[in-house]
Amino acid sequence: MKVKIKPLVAFVCTHNSCRSQIAEALSKKYKAEIFRSCSAGTEIKDHINKDAVRLIKKRYGIDMEETQRSKLITEIEKPDIVIFMGCDVKCPSLKSDYSEDWKLDDPTGKNDCEFNKVIYEIEIKLKDLAERIEYGL
């Protein structure tokens, strides 16, 4: 019997502190049976965005400060799929079989309503991505 290895999806954003971290957290909680996930950036912050941490903890019970950290793209395994979060990041050294840009607004510094809109968009896009992966992208 051939064992199917789940593809690795990398969520990439400049600082790897907000949108990419949210996508990693939600995909690990809800889509781990379909794909593996990580997040990374071309620069890093010394912490994950505090508003993202607070809202994801409140809404989903996930403490991103305990389970995740900001990482450079050079620190992750070669991904099968790269999802750019919308910061116009160009990562020529991050090769993958497939990539797309979700073009999400950066909610950093905005109110909870704006953050929740982005979180909801990420949820919808994760569901769509998981479905496409299941059917061969």
What is the per-residue pLDDT across 61-105, written as a single tens digit (0 to 9) for each? Answer: 999 999 999 999 999 999 999 999 987 656 556 788 999 999 999
Q: Which CATH superfamily is domain 8-134 in?
A: Response regulator (3.40.50.2300)
Q: Does residue 2 surpass a pLDDT of 70?
A: no
Q: Taking the model in full, what pTM does it have? A: 0.91
> Which residues are known catalytic residues?
13, 87, 91
Confidence band for 44, pLDDT divided at 50, 70 and 90? confident
Q: What is the predicted pLDDT for the residue at 91?
A: 56
Taking alpha carbons only, the member of 132, 114, 124, 122 closest to residue 11 is 122
Distance in Å from the first CA to the final CA of the chain: 23
